[in-house]
Structure 1
Amino acid sequence: MTHTAVRITAASRHVTVASSTPSITDWSRRYFGPWWQATSSEAGADAGPLVAAGVDETEAAQLAQLVTDYPHDVVTYANAPLLHTRDDDGCVYAHQPDSSLSYQYQPDVLRIAGTEPVSVALAAARLARELLRSQLLADGWHILHASAAVRDGSTVLTLGEKGAGKTTTALLLARSGWQLLANDRVFVRPDGDGGVDVLPWPSAAAIGLGSLDALGVYDEVRARHLAGERLHPTQHERVSQALTDGKRVPIFASSGTELKPQFFPDQLTTWLGLPLAVSGKAGRIVFPRIAPAAAPAVEGRGRELVDSDFFTAGTEDRYPDVFGLAPQTTNGEVRRVLADRLTALPSTSVVLSHDTEASAKLLAELAR
C-alpha cells in the first residue's frame, strides 16, 4: 500500500505524519506549513517520532476493544471523552467513541485509526504537534499564553487574561506592517546573548465575528463562506450559520464562551491578508485591556510575568497528557531566566477600543 509522508520541523526537531490516505498528510502539510516547516518526506531514522494515521474501521474497532475490555480511565480530550489504559509494557491504548478514533502509542510511534478521514486528519495533526512540543520542552523551550507579531526580527509579545485583547493586538499589528507569529500561544527560550527566542504554536486561529467586522474583513470572510470555501471544522455550526445569515455581533455558548470563526493558519493570509512570521526575538511586551467606548491610551508600565502566563502540563486543560509525551520534569532555572529576561523588556499596559484605526495607531507608535 502506498503511503505519503510529511516531515514537520521546528527548531531542528522533527515529527513525521504518514498515511495511505493522502488527504490526511495534506491536512498536516497545510496546518503546519505556514509556521513550522512541513515538507514531503519518507518515514525514516532521521524523521523523528512517527504518527501513522489511517482510515481503517477494523483496526479502529480492535484497538477500541483493547481499551473497553480492560480497566481504563476517562478524561476529556479535545472536548470529547477519551478512554485510555496502559499495558504492562508501557504501551498506551485509547479510544474516543464520539469520533470513532482509536490510538496506540509506544515510544516514538503513535498509531491512529478511525472511520472518517477528517477526524483522523485532525487527530494526526494534533498529536504530531504534541510530539513535537514534547521535544521542544525537553530542549528548554517553554510555552507562554501570549500572542505575537514580528517586524525585522523583533517580536511584540502580548500577555493577559482570557479576553484581555491578546489576539486583537496581534491582528492590529499584523495589519500595520508586522507579521503575525501567534494568536494565543508561543514557544520561548533564552538565547546565548541575553535575549529570548520566540517560535509559533501552530493552531486554528479563533477570531470573533465582531473583531472581523471591526477589522474590515467580515465581508470578505462571508463572501468566501457563501462561495463554498470552508473554515476549520472545529468551528461551531452556529458560527457558520451566523456567517450565512450575515450576523456580525458576537454569539455565545450556554457556558458564556464566545463562539468564533476558526481559521486554518494559511487562511490568515489567503482570507485576511495577514503575513505570517516563523520566528523572532522578544523585543517588547504589551498588556492590553479592551474598553469598547474608551479612547485608546497608554496606562503605564506592564507588570512582571507570573506563573499563569506560562502553560504547563498541569494547566493544559484541552489536551491532557494521556500518552505520557511531556517531559517528567522541566528546568525551573530556565523558566526563572526567561521570566527575568522578559520582565526586563520594555513593557506597557494599554487600553484599546473598538476604534480599530486609533488602536492600531497607538500600538504602531509603541512598537517603533
Structure 2
Amino acid sequence: MSTPTATRLHAADANVTVLSNTPSVTDWARRYFGSWWNAFEVPASSICEGPLVTADLDDKAYADLNALVTACPHDDVTYAKARLLLARDSTGTITGVSPEEGLAYRSEQLGGHVTIAGRTSEQLALATARIAREMIRAALLRDGWTLLHASAVVRDDQALLTFGSKGSGKTTTALLLASRGAQLLANDRVFVKVVGGELRVLPWPSAAAVGLGLLDALGLYDVVRERLQAGEQLHPTQHQDVTDALLAGRREPLWEPGGKREMKVQVFPDQFSTWFGMELATGGRAAALLFPRIDPSAVPAVVDGARTLGEDDFMSGTTEDRYPDHFGLAYGINGGGSDLARAAVADRLAGLPHHQVVLGHDVAANADFLAKLVSDL
C-alpha cells in the first residue's frame, strides 16, 4: 500500500483536504485547482479536523459498498452523467455506487467527510476533484456567496462579468480579452459576494469548453494540435471524436447526434497559461457587466438595449443538473446561493455599468474593441 498523500484546497474562507493512497489523485487536485484556488501539499499526518475527502484505489471497499447499497432500499439516480445507486441510513450516512465508473461513495458527518473507493486511478481522480469542488462550493454558499452564470476577466483587480445564453459570446469575450493582457478568471461561472461594500469575485475551477471554430479563430488551434501530437493531453472528459479531429487537422465544428450540442475541446485550467500564455486571476472586484451578441456581419460596437440580469444569470439547483447534491453537502441551500445572498448581489450588480455589445467575425477587430472597452472602465 502506498504512503498516503494529501492536498489542501482554499477559496476565501472555505477549505477541504484530499487524502489518498494514490499520488496521482492528490497531484490531480493540485493541478486542477491550483491555478485558480490555493492548492498545496500538506503532510498526511497533520490532518486532524475539517472537511475531508478520502479517496483510495480499493476493489474490496468498492465491492463492500456496492453489496451494501444493492442489498437495501435505494434510489436509481444520475450523477455526472452516470448512473448512481443511492442509499441513506438512519444516522444520515449516504452511500452511493456508480457501476459504470467503478466508484463508491460514502458521505458522513453531514457531508463533512466523503470517502470514495475507486477501481481505476483516472476515474478516482475525476470523482475526487468533483466532490472536493462541491464541498468548497457548499461552504462558500453557506458563507453568503452566490454563483453567477458568467465569464469573467480581471485587470488591475477590476472584474468584467459577461452574461448571456449559449452562443451569445461569453467564452469568446473572455478569451479575446485574455489574449490582450487581461487575466482570465472564469469561463462559465463565478462566485460573488458583497464584502466591505464591494462585490468580490472568485473563480469556479473547471475544464473550459472551447469549440473547434473558436479555437481556430483565436489562432490557438495549431498550438493545441502540436501539443497533442507531442503526446500531451487535454481534459479526459473530452470526446474522442474531438481529439481525432484535432489530430487530423479538421477545424469545422463537431456536433452530437441530433445537432443540438457542439462537441468541444476541453482545456485544463493550467493549460491556459502553459499552452496559450494567458494569465489567470484568483479574484477581483466586479466593475462592469457586459452583454454580448454575435452578428457575423457586424462591426464590433456598443449598442442600445434594455438587457438586465435575470433569473437565468444566477446558477440554481435546476441549472446544476449534472452534479445534484445527492451527498448532502449543501445542507439544502440552493445550488446558486441563498435568496438573501442573491438579492444582495443582484442589487449591487444593478448599480454597475452595463454594456450591450455586438461582435462580428473579425477576431482582431473584436479583440481591439473589447480591450479598449475594458481599459476605459
TM-score, normalised with respect to structure 2: 0.94
Match of 2:24 in 1: 23
The CA deviation at 1:303 is: 2.3
Q: Secondary structure at the match of 1:75?
A: strand
Q: Is the Cα contact below 8 Å between 2:146 and 2:338 reproduced in 1?
A: no
Tell me, in whole angstroms, the C-alpha distance in 2 between the residues paired with 1:249 and 1:46: 52
The CA deviation at 1:300 is: 2.3
Tell me, in whole angstroms, the C-alpha distance in 2 between the residues paired with 1:165 and 1:20: 42
For the pair 1:140 / 2:140, whether they are aligned, the reply is no
Change (3 A) 1:109 1:42: farther
Q: Is the Cα contact below 8 Å between 1:64 and 1:95 reproduced in 2?
A: yes
Match of 1:183 in 2: 187
The CA deviation at 1:81 is: 1.1
> What amino acid is the match of 1:112?
I
Q: Is the Cα contact below 8 Å between 1:203 and 1:265 reproduced in 2?
A: yes
Q: Is the Cα contact below 8 Å between 1:182 and 1:200 reproduced in 2?
A: yes
Tell me, in whole angstroms, the C-alpha distance in 1 between the residues paired with 2:284 and 2:52: 28
The CA deviation at 1:152 is: 0.3
Match of 1:12 in 2: 13
Match of 1:158 in 2: 162
Q: Deviations over 1:68-124 (max 9, x none)?
A: 121111222111111111111110000111111111110211111111000000000
Match of 2:33 in 1: 32
Q: Secondary structure at the match of 1:311?
A: coil
Q: Is the Cα contact below 8 Å between 1:35 and 1:277 reproduced in 2?
A: yes
Q: Deviations over 1:302-337 (max 9, x none)?
A: 622111111122331110110111132454232212
> What amino acid is the match of 1:106?
E
Q: Which sections of structure 2, spanning at least 5 residues, go unmatched?
A: none
Q: Which sections of structure 1, spanning at least 5 residues, go unmatched?
A: none
Match of 1:355 in 2: 362
Tell me, in whole angstroms, the C-alpha distance in 1 between the residues paired with 2:314 and 2:48: 31
- Pairing 1:325-344 to 2, within 5 Å after superposition: 325-329=329-333, 331-344=338-351
Could you tell me which of 94, 97, 101 is aligned with 1:95? 97
Could you tell me which of 210, 213, 219 is aligned with 2:216? 213
Tell me, in whole angstroms, the C-alpha distance in 1 between the residues paired with 2:297 and 2:225: 26
For the pair 1:309 / 2:313, whether they are aligned, the reply is yes
Tell me, in whole angstroms, the C-alpha distance in 1 between the residues paired with 2:281 and 2:304: 28
Q: Deviations over 1:143-189 (max 9, x none)?
A: 00000000000000001112211111000110111000000010000
Match of 1:125 in 2: 129
The CA deviation at 1:295 is: 1.9
Q: Secondary structure at the match of 2:317?
A: coil
Q: Deviations over 1:232-264 (max 9, x none)?
A: 000000000000110111101014211111111
Change (3 A) 1:70 1:333: same
Cα RMSD of the aligned pairs, angstroms, is 1.4
Q: Secondary structure at the match of 1:162?
A: coil
Change (3 A) 1:38 1:302: farther
Moved more, 297-306 or 67-76: 297-306
Q: Secondary structure at the match of 2:69?
A: helix
TM-score, normalised with respect to structure 1: 0.97
Q: Is the Cα contact below 8 Å between 2:13 and 2:140 reproduced in 1?
A: no
Could you tell me which of 224, 228, 239 is aligned with 1:225? 228
- Pairing 1:40-51 to 2, within 5 Å after superposition: 40-42=41-43, 44=46, 48-51=50-53
Q: Is the Cα contact below 8 Å between 1:63 and 1:93 reproduced in 2?
A: yes
Match of 2:4 in 1: 3
Q: Secondary structure at the match of 2:303?
A: strand
Tell me, in whole angstroms, the C-alpha distance in 2 between the residues paired with 1:228 and 1:47: 40
Change (3 A) 1:327 1:300: farther
Tell me, in whole angstroms, the C-alpha distance in 2 between the residues paired with 1:23 and 1:344: 46
Tell me, in whole angstroms, the C-alpha distance in 2 between the residues paired with 1:42 and 1:318: 33
Q: Is the Cα contact below 8 Å between 1:3 and 1:21 reproduced in 2?
A: yes
Tell me, in whole angstroms, the C-alpha distance in 2 between the residues paired with 1:184 and 1:124: 21
- Pairing 1:67-82 to 2, within 5 Å after superposition: 67-82=69-84
